[in-house]
Amino acid sequence: MIFIKFLLILILTLGFVIFSFSSKLKIFQKLFIIAGYAVVFFFILYPSYSDDIAHMASIKSGTDLIVYIVLALTVLMNIVLYVGQNNNNRMITKIIRETAKKNAKKCQ
C-alpha cells in the first residue's frame, strides 16, 4: 500500500511540475491547479477522510465522491475548451476575411 501511495504521489508531482513549467497560465489558473494538487495529495495520504466528506454530502463512499468530482471537472474542462476553440475559430475567420478583402483590393 505504501508503494502505491508513493507511486501515485510521484506521478502526480511529475505531472504537476511538467504542466506548470510547460504552459503559460494565469495566476488564478495556477492557484486552482495548486489547490487541486493539494486536495489530491491529501486524499492519497489519508483516504478515509474522503469517506467522511462523502457521508456529509449523503454519498455512499469517498470513491463515489471522487468520481463525481472528476466527472464534473471533466465536463467543465470540455466546456471551457469548446468555448476557447470557438473563439479561436472566430478570430481565424475574421483574420482570413480581412486578408481576403485586402488582397481583393490589390487585384482590382
pLDDT tens-digit readout, 23-60: 676 777 778 778 888 888 888 888 888 889 889 989 88
Residue 1 has pLDDT above 70, yes or no: no
Instruction: Give CA–CA dist 42/38, Å, rounded.
Output: 6
What pTM was computed for the model? Answer: 0.65
Q: Which residues have CB under 8 Å from 63's CB, separation 6+?
A: 50
